[in-house]
C-alpha cells in the first residue's frame, strides 16, 4: 500500500539524517586583562559568530546584563576566593542568589554554576570547602525552584589524576578522596556533569620525546597509540585524556556520570622555547576539536558519546602570570578582529593559509556589507521583506535565522534570498551599497542560506509515491521529510489519497 511505502521512505531518510542533539561547543570568556571590550560588545561579538554557549568565571553583573535576551546560555562561576563564605553559611548563598542571579534570570540564560575552579591546583587548601559550598548553592536554587534548570558542579584539571596513561589505567589521586567521593555522589544524585579542563598542548610541551605534535593536533597522519590493556586505538591525545577520566570514574563505580570539558584550547603565542604555540597550530587544534565534538565522535571507550566542550578562550589575557603562553590563548584581539578564523559549525574546513572557512566548493552568496550603516541596512531590509517580495519568515522570533537578533544578520539573510531569487546576478546584490557578495557560505546551525547549487540539489531530492490508482510527486526537502518523521513518531498517521 502507498502509506506503507511512504512510511518506509520517511524512516529510511530519518536513519540517514539522524535526529538527536549534537554535543555543544562553547567559549570561555576570561577577563584577566587590561584592554578588553565592554561586556555588551563581547555579547555582540559572540552573537556575530553564532556562538551559543559561554562560560564566565564569576557572576559579574555587567556581563549578566550584557547577555540578557541574547539566547546565549551561560555557565557562571563561584571563584575559589568565595568558597569559604559559601561553605560556611546557607544565608550567604541565599543572599548572593537573590541579589546577583535572580534579578537577571531567565532573561540571561544561566544553565550551570561552577563552584570552585581547579581547586587541586589552588595554592590555598580549599578542596574541603567545595562540596559544602556546592550543597548550599543547590539548596538555594531548590528554594526558588531552579535546581532542575540550573545545575551545580565544579571544574577540575587533569592533575586530579594520579595516572592517565594508558587511558584504561586512569585513576584519581587518592589524596583527593576525602572530597572527591562525596562530590561524585552529589553529581550523580543531581544529574550534573563531571567538569574537567583538558589540554593536550601541555602533554606535548612537557613530553615532546613521547608525544607527537600531530597526535595532539588531531592530525590524520599521527601514529596510532594502542592501549595495551584494552586494545583500543587512539588517534589523538584529547580522546586519550578524556578516556583516562572515564576509566577513573568507572574504577570508583561511577559509570554513568557524564563528562563536560569546560576548557580546552591551544596558545597562539609562547616563549621562545614554546615552538608549538603558534596561530596555525591553535587554528588547527581548535578547528579539529570543534569538528570532533559536533560530530559526536565520542572516544574509543565511549563511541558516540556527546561531550559538551568549551574552547579557551575569547581573548588573550595580559594580566595572567607565568610563562608567555599563559597569556595567549585568545581567538580575538581586543578590537574584536580574529587572531585566526574558526568554523564554529564543525561542518566545513578552514584554509590554514588564509584563515577562511571553506564550506562550499562553489556558489556565491549576498550578505550585509561591513561598511553599511545600521540605518542603511534597516532600510534595505524593509525593502527586501516588502516590495522585494522576499519570504522573511525565517528571521522572525523562534525561527531558524532569528538569532543573532541583529539588523546585519537579518539583512544578510534577506539580501541573499533576494539575490538568489533573481538569478544571483550582480545587480541583485547592491541594495544601495549596503550589500556585498561572498564565496563563504554564511549558513549556520539550522539557518541555511540558499544558493544556486543548493537549490538544484533540493529540486532533485524528491520522493515519488505510487498509490493504487494514481501517482503523486512529493517535492519535499530533507528537512521537511525530517519534520514529517518527527510527527509520525508521535503517532500521527498520514493517508495518501
The residues assigned a catalytic role are 118, 263
DSSP 119-141: GGG-SS--HHHHHHHHHHHHHHH
- In sequence order, the β-bridge partners of residue 233 are 226
Q: By the 8 A CB rule, do 313 and 30 touch? A: yes
How far apart are alpha carbons 491 and 487 in whole angstroms?
7
Q: Any residues with CB less than 8 A from the CB of 484 and at least 6 apart, and which?
A: 10, 476, 494
Q: Given the C-alpha cell 519570504, which residue does it identify?
A: 391
What are the grid coordinates assigned to 30, written together? 576570561
C-alpha pair distances (Å), 17 with each of 123, 296, 349, 479: 49, 14, 20, 9
What are the grid coordinates assigned to 340, written together? 585566526
Q: Of the candidates 481, 459, 490, 478, which has an alpha carbon nearest to the alpha carbon of residue 6?
A: 481
Work out whether the CA dihedral 371, 376, 377, 381 comes out positive or negative: negative
Q: Of the candidates 86, 211, 75, 204, which has an alpha carbon nearest to the alpha carbon of residue 151?
A: 75
**What SS3 state is found at 34?**
coil
Instruction: Give the H or E element holding residue 279.
Output: helix 279-294
List % helix, strand, coil for the chain (3-state, nearest 5). 40, 15, 45
Phi, psi of 346 (to 5 degrees): 75, 5
The beta-strand segments (E) located in 315-444 are: 349-350, 357-358, 365-368, 435-438
What are the grid coordinates assigned to 350, written together? 578552514
What are the grid coordinates assigned to 359, written together? 564550506
What are the grid coordinates assigned to 398, written together? 523562534
How far apart are alpha carbons 121 and 446 in whole angstroms?
40
Phi, psi of 381 (to 5 degrees): -65, -45
Q: By the 8 A CB rule, do 395 and 410 touch? A: yes
Q: Any residues with CB less than 8 A from the CB of 292 and at least 6 apart, and which?
A: 218, 236, 238
Q: By the 8 A CB rule, do 388 and 26 touch? A: no
Start-to-end CA distance of the chain, whole Å, equals 11
Q: Given the C-alpha cell 544556486, which residue does it identify?
A: 452
Amino acid at each position: 500500500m502507498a502509506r506503507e511505502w511512504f512510511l518506509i521512505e520517511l524512516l529510511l531518510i530519518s536513519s540517514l539524517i539522524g535526529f538527536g542533539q549534537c554535543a555543544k561547543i562553547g567559549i570561555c570568556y576570561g577577563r584577566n586583562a587590561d584592554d578588553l571590550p565592554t561586556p555588551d560588545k563581547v555579547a555582540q561579538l559572540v552573537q556575530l559568530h553564532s556562538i551559543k554557549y559561554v562560560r564566565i568565571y564569576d557572576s559579574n553583573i555587567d556581563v549578566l546584563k550584557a547577555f540578557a535576551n541574547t539566547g546565549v546560555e551561560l555557565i557562571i562561576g563561584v571563584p575559589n576566593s568565595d568558597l569559604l563564605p559559601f561553605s560556611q553559611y546557607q544565608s550567604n548563598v541565599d543572599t548572593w542568589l537573590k541579589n546577583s542571579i535572580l534579578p537577571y534570570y531567565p532573561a540571561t540564560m544561566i544553565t550551570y554554576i561552577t563552584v570552585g575552579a581547579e581547586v587541586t591546583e589552588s595554592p590555598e587548601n580549599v578542596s574541603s570547602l567545595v562540596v559544602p559550598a556546592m550543597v548550599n548553592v543547590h539548596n538555594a536554587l531548590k528554594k526558588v525552584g531552579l535546581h532542575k534548570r540550573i545545575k551545580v558542579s565544579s571544574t577540575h584539571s587533569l592533575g586530579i589524576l594520579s595516572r592517565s596513561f594508558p587511558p584504561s589505567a586512569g585513576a584519581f589521586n587518592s589524596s583527593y578522596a576525602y572530597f572527591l567521593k562525596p562530590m561524585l555522589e552529589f553529581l550523580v544524585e543531581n544529574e550534573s556533569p563531571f567538569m574537567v579542563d583538558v589540554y593536550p598542548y601541555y602533554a606535548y610541551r612537557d613530553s615532546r620525546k613521547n608525544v607527537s605534535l600531530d597526535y595532539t593536533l588531531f592530525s590524520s597522519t599521527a601514529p596510532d597509540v594502542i592501549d595495551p590493556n584494552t586494545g583500543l586505538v587512539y588517534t589523538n591525545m584529547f580522546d586519550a585524556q578524556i578516556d583516562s577520566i572515564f576509566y577513573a570514574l568507572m574504577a570508583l563505580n561511577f559509570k554513568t556520570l557524564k563528562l563536560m570539558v569546560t576548557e580546552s584550547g591551544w596558545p597562539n603565542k609562547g616563549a621562545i622555547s614554546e615552538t608549538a604555540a603558534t596561530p596555525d597550530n591553535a587554528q588547527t587544534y581548535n578547528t579539529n576539536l570543534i569538528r570532533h565534538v559536533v560530530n559526536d565522535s565520542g572516544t574509543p571507550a565511549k563511541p558516540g558519546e556527546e561531550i559538551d566542550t568549551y574552547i579557551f578562550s575569547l581573548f588573550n589575557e595580559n594580566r595572567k602570570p607565568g610563562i608567555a603562553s599563559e597569556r595567549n590563548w585568545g581567538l580575538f584581539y581586543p578590537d574584536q578582529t580574529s587572531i585566526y578564523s574558526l568554523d564554529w559549525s564543525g561542518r566545513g574546513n578552514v584554509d590554514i593559509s588564509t584563515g577562511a572557512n571553506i564550506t562550499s566548493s562553489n556558489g556565491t552568496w549576498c550578505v550585509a556589507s561591513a561598511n553599511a550603516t545600521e540605518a542603511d541596512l534597516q532600510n534595505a531590509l524593509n525593502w527586501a521583506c516588502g516590495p522585494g517580495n522576499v519570504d522573511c519568515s525565517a528571521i522572525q522570533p523562534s525561527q531558524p535565522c532569528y538569532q543573532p537578533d541583529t539588523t546585519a544578520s537579518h539583512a544578510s539573510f534577506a539580501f541573499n534570498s533576494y539575490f538568489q531569487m533573481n538569478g544571483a546576478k550582480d545587480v541583485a546584490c547592491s541594495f544601495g551599497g549596503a550589500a556585498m557578495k561572498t564565496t563563504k557560505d554564511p549558513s549556520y546551525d539550522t539557518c541555511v542560506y540558499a544558493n544556486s547549487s543548493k537549490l538544484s540539489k533540493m529540486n532533485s531530492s524528491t520522493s515519488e509515491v505510487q498509490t493504487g490508482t494514481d501517482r503523486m510527486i512529493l517535492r519535499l526537502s530533507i528537512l521537511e521529510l525530517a519534520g514529517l518523521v518527527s510527527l509520525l513518531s508521535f503517532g500521527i498517521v498520514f493517508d495518501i489519497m
